Structure 1
Amino acid sequence: MRSTGHESRLVVRRPQTTPRAPFRSPFDVCQTSPFDVCQTSPFDVCQTSPFDVSPTSPFDVSPTSPFDVSHTSPFDVSHTSPFESPFDAPFDAPVDVHVWANSVHGRDDRPSPPTSRPTRSTGRGRRPPVASPVAGVVHRSRITGRECRPPVAHHRSRPSRPRGDGRRRARASRSRAAMPYASNAAVADEMAALTRGPCAGVSRTVVMGSSVDGRPVRALEIGATSSTVGEDANDARWSGRVRVGVFGNMHGDEPVGREIAMALARWTCARAREAADGEADERRDRALAARLLEEATIFVVPTINPDGFERKTRENARGVDLNRNFPYAGFDMPASASRTGKSDNAAHEVETELVMRWSKTWRLNVAINYHEGALVANYPWDGNADGRTAYSSAPDDETFRYLSQLYADAHPKMHDSVEFRGGITNGAGWYPLWGGMQDWHYVNTGTYDITVEVDDDKWPSEDRLDDIVAEHVAASLKMIERAAFGSVRGYVRDREGNGIPGASVSVGHGLPVTTDRAGFFAKPSAPSNQPVRVVVNPPANFKRFLAVTRTVDVIDPERGAVVDVVIEKTFWFSFGVVFVGAIVALFAIRRTVRRHRRVGTNDESLSNGVDVERAIAHRRSD
């Protein structure tokens, strides 16, 4: 049902419970006052309220007002007051609240009130959930100047998967100008500082390319060989290591991923250098950090879309959604989807091109792409063939579900989601899209890419940022550890022990991965107690070599499985070589034998030469 433009009315009742905290100022305009002028107060005095406290009001609460409601006011109502929100407890006295009727398509496409902020979309730009009846109301208090918002909208539900997370709280986000997010320049400075400080000797910063407006897109590479190899990605010393990618800020108005990516880099370098003593958890953290540095290379890309961050827009400087700008992978966008979604991949943006070029060079084994607008781990396929909102299973669906569930279970809130069962979702099962980085990575570079929506709010307030970052760093490390070291990995070599690059390795029924310059491969896999077949096909330029099949009995969740393969030339080629060699040898032997026979005949003739001459002379005398 689309928005009708009419107002609806909501009847609420006052709470019957006894207050758990004393009243302070009766004119308190903070969120938890019984006269709250923000969000959901039944006595809302924002804009249209009959109790509007304008600047000329006798109850003016200016700094010099006798009714000053500063933080030191003895009448302040604490956040534990039962009157925190009229929607949090039952009421008995009806109070009318004017609301905006919203479209069933939710936050992205509903008509906004005249004074509302830009509507919020989900991180992947998905068809968003159904809004609650009061979700569209946005006022600005004339007392504090802060925006007053109603509770966050609930998501649309399907019979098979209940949605609508009742635990969501209405949040009054502060102005974006006040957010403590690091600027593009500050992020670049911190990357440089890490390479000189905690990550010195095991890291370097490289420029992947430039955005539309010329801002550099940088990557921080962390690993034991990062500072010694140089910038040649084909150097064999880079090979033989699991490669992990961490991407943030693909959408300019979703900046938390920048903070998570940099925090993860700081954690890895700092923990690896700490002393080996301490509690068991601390020792385990240090062991994990040290192992990541020794056996893996982590590529931290805090911002793919620096122009969008500067503009505080989802799209890049040319107005293109980068997560719809990759080549179609797995499925082409059906004609029917043009009514519900838009793909911007007719021409690839410079940011998209640099990510594709860089990803094809390094061929990451696993990646995390941080977004905002929900709290869920999302996995392929994002697209499908018919455009329906339905589960679209990838060949490695079991592995994708396993990695996503690892992330959700390691997060303190995500796995308890009512909106998404277990805190995870299939992309097309949430809603389909085409031209996303997640599917493109999976098909073109063998990268197991998980899209993580880190919070229901975009650009969350500064008082929540530290907790959000800490929670997602812990969850990211858990998933990275299992994806990297619980993988099926090994080397493909020839009989001389030389690594064979470009060999195709299939594990089970999933898509194959490719060996690197040293012949190394790593394929994230779900644990298994059943035999799993591993098939290694030689690269195209090794036409005289046979495919090799091995069987892995167990894939351990923490140690994975190691499979080293030696591929040899085909039997028929070897037989042909032997056969031709035998023929040549026979001809050589025959020639040698005939030669020896001629030499023997000549010797015999010489020894009998006197008799021959006598016989000739006798015939002449006759």
Structure 2
Amino acid sequence: MTAAVSLIWLGLLPLLVQSLDFTYHNSSQLEAILKDFNSRYPAITYLYSIGKSVEGRDLWVFVVGKYPTKHTVGIPEFKYVANMHGNEAVGREILLHLIEYLLTNYQSNATVTQLVTNTRIHLLPSMNPDGFAASSPNDCDSVNGRFNKNGYDLNRNFPDAFEENKDPVQPETQAVMGWIKSETFVLSANFHGGAMVASYSYDNSYTVPPDNDVLMYLAQKYSENNLQMYSSNSCPGFSGFTNGITNGAVWYKVKGGMQDYNYIYNQCVEITLEVSCCKYPDPSTLQGFWNDNKVSVIEYIKQVHMGMCLDIFIQ
């Protein structure tokens, strides 16, 4: 019996498949990876663009699910968004590795199989590909690449229920707004860098949300499965966060944020995940960040099945 046959017989071969390297992938490479995954797993994947950036780069969304191409009754819609600040790059790579993990473990891992069978999972690895192209590794603190090509912060560009937002809506923002309205998303999270914490609404009001207990639970569910985040080890310049979570406005107020827009305007709960102290760390650290977040990203997706009845109210 050959070594390969032995591994197949033991059921271990899928666990050893690792085609995606731990490095940063530019927009062309990201597109090629997504198209390759889609071609290799056509039964459970769907790839589509929700629009283009200012410089004409596609905003690719990769779907994993038993019914990937359309909404199916009884199958909730879930999404992850990364890289809306172009220089906050870790989440972009986490989502690529999450895609690979879901695909290579489908039908061999009970948890993954159940998630893929019962959830339609949408993954947008880069909301700001132009900003990513303008940024570079080992830049922990600057704003180079943070904004879109027109110079706007996309996480300050959404309609705001608490304060008028007069900034012109950017193509990337418009694409995401149209995407959110076209799907019945129930649960979401977006990835950032520069801190280690899971943040929940409201971002632009000190009013306690009516679903505050649910929001806190969801943030802690992500944090408690990420030891670095949950231990509240503070990044330079920050004090620690209790259990690795915070209310957004209590931390600092954000006008025009995507998190509040999802929750208030679209009844989709979203939290913000700050997953690295350094915004664009050395690529040698990426495997460690994936290991830190792997359980969290799966456990958080599971929460879309717990059932939520939202009671949005603004004073």
Report the TM-score range of the alignment, normalised by the length of the smaller protein.
Answer: 0.7 to 0.9
In structure 1, C-alpha distance between the alignment counterparts of 2:209 and 2:282, rounded to whole Å: 36
Is the 1:245–1:298 Cα contact (8 Å) retained in structure 2? yes
Secondary structure of the corresponding residue to residue 290 of structure 1: helix
Report the Cα offset of residue 263 of structure 1.
1.1
Matching residue's letter, 1:453: E
Corresponding residue of 1:187: 30
Give the unaligned 5+ runs of structure 1. Answer: 1-178, 275-285, 334-342, 385-390, 489-505, 513-622
Give the unaligned 5+ runs of structure 2. Answer: 1-21, 136-144, 234-239
Instruction: Indicate yes or no: 2:143 matched with 1:314.
Output: no
Q: How does 1:162-177 map to 2 (within 5 A)?
A: none
Report the Cα offset of residue 433 of structure 1.
1.0
In structure 1, C-alpha distance between the alignment counterparts of 2:278 and 2:207, rounded to whole Å: 27
Q: How does 1:592-603 map to 2 (within 5 A)?
A: none
Report the Cα offset of residue 473 of structure 1.
2.4
Is the 1:219–1:301 Cα contact (8 Å) retained in structure 2? yes
In structure 2, C-alpha distance between the alignment counterparts of 1:256 and 1:192, rounded to whole Å: 21
Corresponding residue of 1:351: 172
Is the 2:53–2:129 Cα contact (8 Å) retained in structure 1? yes
Q: How does 1:119-130 map to 2 (within 5 A)?
A: none
Q: How does 1:490-505 map to 2 (within 5 A)?
A: none
Cα deviations by residue, 1:322-369 (Å, 9 ceiling, x for unpaired): 00000013x116xxxxxxxxx6x5210010000000101112111110
Report the Cα offset of residue 479 of structure 1.
1.6
Cα deviations by residue, 1:364-399 (Å, 9 ceiling, x for unpaired): 111110000000000000002xxxxxx542111100
Is the 1:382–1:392 Cα contact (8 Å) retained in structure 2? no
Secondary structure of the corresponding residue to residue 376 of structure 1: strand
Distance change >3 Å, CA 272–CA 180, structure 1 → 2: closer
Moved over 3 A (4+): none
Equivalent in 32, 36, 39 of residue 196 of structure 1? 39
Equivalent in 151, 155, 176 of residue 323 of structure 1? 155
Corresponding residue of 2:9: none
Report the Cα offset of residue 180 of structure 1.
3.1
Secondary structure of the corresponding residue to residue 227 of structure 2: coil
Equivalent in 440, 445, 448 of residue 261 of structure 2? 440
Cα deviations by residue, 1:119-139 (Å, 9 ceiling, x for unpaired): xxxxxxxxxxxxxxxxxxxxx
Report the Cα offset of residue 450 of structure 1.
0.8
Report the Cα offset of residue 255 of structure 1.
1.0
In structure 2, C-alpha distance between the alignment counterparts of 1:238 and 1:305, rounded to whole Å: 29
Instruction: Indicate yes or no: 2:55 matched with 1:213.
Output: yes
Matching residue's letter, 2:200: Y
Instruction: Indicate yes or no: 2:85 matched with 1:251.
Output: yes
Question: Identity of paired residues, percent?
Answer: 31
Is the 2:86–2:129 Cα contact (8 Å) retained in structure 1? yes
Corresponding residue of 1:487: 307
Cα deviations by residue, 1:578-615 (Å, 9 ceiling, x for unpaired): xxxxxxxxxxxxxxxxxxxxxxxxxxxxxxxxxxxxxx
In structure 1, C-alpha distance between the alignment counterparts of 2:23 and 2:292, rounded to whole Å: 18
Secondary structure of the corresponding residue to residue 400 of structure 1: helix
In structure 2, C-alpha distance between the alignment counterparts of 1:359 and 1:273, rounded to whole Å: 30
Task: Calculate the TM-score normalised by the size of structure 2.
Answer: 0.84
Is the 1:204–1:220 Cα contact (8 Å) retained in structure 2? yes
Corresponding residue of 2:76: 242
Matching residue's letter, 1:254: E
Corresponding residue of 1:165: none
Secondary structure of the corresponding residue to residue 249 of structure 2: helix
Instruction: Indicate yes or no: 2:225 matched with 1:410.
Output: yes
Is the 2:44–2:64 Cα contact (8 Å) retained in structure 1? yes
Equivalent in 86, 90, 99 of residue 265 of structure 1? 99
Report the Cα offset of residue 200 of structure 1.
2.8
Cα deviations by residue, 1:264-303 (Å, 9 ceiling, x for unpaired): 11111111132xxxxxxxxxxx122111121110001000
Is the 1:308–1:314 Cα contact (8 Å) retained in structure 2? yes
Matching residue's letter, 2:127: I
Matching residue's letter, 1:209: G
Secondary structure of the corresponding residue to residue 365 of structure 1: strand
Q: How does 1:16-415 map to 2 (within 5 A)?
A: 180-197=23-40, 199-226=41-68, 229=69, 238-274=72-108, 286-312=109-135, 313-329=145-161, 331-332=162-163, 345-384=166-205, 391-415=206-230
Is the 1:202–1:223 Cα contact (8 Å) retained in structure 2? yes
In structure 1, C-alpha distance between the alignment counterparts of 2:73 and 2:204, rounded to whole Å: 32
Is the 1:246–1:367 Cα contact (8 Å) retained in structure 2? yes
Q: How does 1:518-537 map to 2 (within 5 A)?
A: none
Q: Would you say how many aligned residue pairs link Structure 1 and Structure 2?
A: 277
Corresponding residue of 2:312: 511
Is the 1:380–1:392 Cα contact (8 Å) retained in structure 2? no
Report the Cα offset of residue 225 of structure 1.
1.2
Structure 1 window deviating more from structure 2 (217-226 vs 237-246): it is: 237-246
Secondary structure of the corresponding residue to residue 326 of structure 1: coil
In structure 2, C-alpha distance between the alignment counterparts of 1:347 and 1:240, rounded to whole Å: 37
Report the Cα offset of residue 240 of structure 1.
2.4
Is the 1:212–1:351 Cα contact (8 Å) retained in structure 2? yes
Is the 1:392–1:429 Cα contact (8 Å) retained in structure 2? no
In structure 1, C-alpha distance between the alignment counterparts of 2:59 and 2:37, rounded to whole Å: 17
Secondary structure of the corresponding residue to residue 394 of structure 1: coil
Is the 1:378–1:425 Cα contact (8 Å) retained in structure 2? yes
Is the 1:442–1:449 Cα contact (8 Å) retained in structure 2? yes
In structure 1, C-alpha distance between the alignment counterparts of 2:294 and 2:107, rounded to whole Å: 18
In structure 2, C-alpha distance between the alignment counterparts of 1:271 and 1:451, rounded to whole Å: 27
Larger proportion of helix: 2
Is the 1:195–1:203 Cα contact (8 Å) retained in structure 2? yes
Equivalent in 283, 289, 294 of residue 462 of structure 1? 283
